[in-house]
Amino acid sequence: MILIVVTCSPYRHRIKLVRRLANAERRAVCGVTTLNDKIFVAYHELPFIVVYVSHEPYTRLPNISVNGLKDPIDIAAGTTSLYMSDWGSMAIWRIKVGLANSKVDKWLSGVMTLSVSVTSEKKVALLVMVNMKGSERKCRFNYSGEIHVYSAGAVKETVIKLSPDITFPHCVVMTTRKTFIVSYGFDWHEMNRVFEVDMNGHMLKAFGSAPGEGVGELNTPFHVSLDEEERVIVADSGNDRVLLLDSRLMLQRVLVTWHPQWFSDDAGSQSRLHYDRHSGKLLVGSGSGNLDVYQLRA
């Protein structure tokens, strides 16, 4: 893979690739987050969470086993716990991370969750698959979504219905304005966009259009994260790049671009990311199993 790192950044310091953490099993990264100076990574169909120290030399620590975990699809961190959505068992697992060991419990059951995030108010926001149409295979690519907000005690407090023409939503994060940033679309869908929606489900603004690779276009925007100023960082997976949008969802710049070489071990779309506001690091996970660590600010 040829990797181009863009250095003329809106951040005070240059964006630079700090480290590539390669997974020996070459499984896709399904989620990544940070907590207590550690990096936690969920990989496709692995029944455990891989853990690294979040600074040099990025030492790998013992895995956290999750008995019953089948197919993780996202992971997020609160102040003391991790929350992991499990497509295979239709559950949300909670992992209370301790100094000596971790306590795991099935925090929520019976939900087909596409994305999980934790709000500044310690609520858990889930992007839930609804209105699946067609065969089981087609359902994975032809559905709409709802945002469900839960208290830490797993009590559902809010349900926000997204417009039915928003097909194939991927990810949701909540802003301090009590709005939500959502990404949706695949390369064969009519629209690929990132948009902001309020508590009533009304779309406030959006970035994107028909799928493409040009300015103002997206192709399978799988994952989003927010920086300190609530600018939106987008994993534009089908275009092998990461974009930075301002709080108005206007394009500021392309942060990183990949040029994958076919049949290379490094091939694989960059589909999962997490920005650590504490350290200024951007973690980008790929379908080939690599996890790249970038320094966006000092």
Q: What is the pLDDT of residues 176-216, one digit of tens each?
A: 999 999 999 988 888 999 999 999 999 999 999 999 999 99
Work out the mean pLDDT of the chain and round it to a whole number. Answer: 87
- End-to-end Cα, the chain, rounded Å: 27
Using the Cα atoms of residue 106, residue 111, residue 115 and residue 118 in order, give the sign of their dihedral.
Answer: negative
Cα–Cα distance for residue pair 274/31, rounded to 1 Å: 8
Query: Do residues 28 and 286 touch, judged by C-beta distance below 8 A?
Result: yes
SS3 251: strand
Over the stretch 236-246, which tens digit does the pLDDT of each residue have?
Answer: 999 999 999 99
pLDDT at 106 over 90: yes
Residue 264, pLDDT above cutoff 80: no
Which has more confidence, 270 or 146? 146
As a whole number, mean pLDDT of residues 103-117 equals: 95
Res. 138: pLDDT tops 50? no
Q: Is the pLDDT of residue 161 over 90?
A: yes
CA atoms of 153 and 133, how far apart (whole Å): 32
Considering only CA atoms, give the Rg of the chain: 18
Whole-number pLDDT of residue 68: 94
What pLDDT, on a 0 to 100 scale, did the predictor assign at position 133? 55
- pLDDT of res. 285: 93
Rounded distance, CA 47 to CA 252, Å?
38
CATH 2.120.10.30 assigned to 2-295: yes
Q: 32 with 272: CB under 8 angstroms?
A: yes
Q: Could you tell me which of 239, 243, 292, 294 has the C-alpha nearest to residue 269? A: 239
Does residue 247 register a pLDDT over 60?
Answer: yes
Residue 259 has pLDDT above 80, yes or no: no
36: left (phi over 0), alpha (psi -120 to 50) or beta: left
Q: How confident is the model at residue 12 (pLDDT cuts 50, 70, 90)?
A: very low
Q: What is the pLDDT of residue 165?
A: 85
Structure tokens at 78: 């609160």
pLDDT at position 1, please?
42
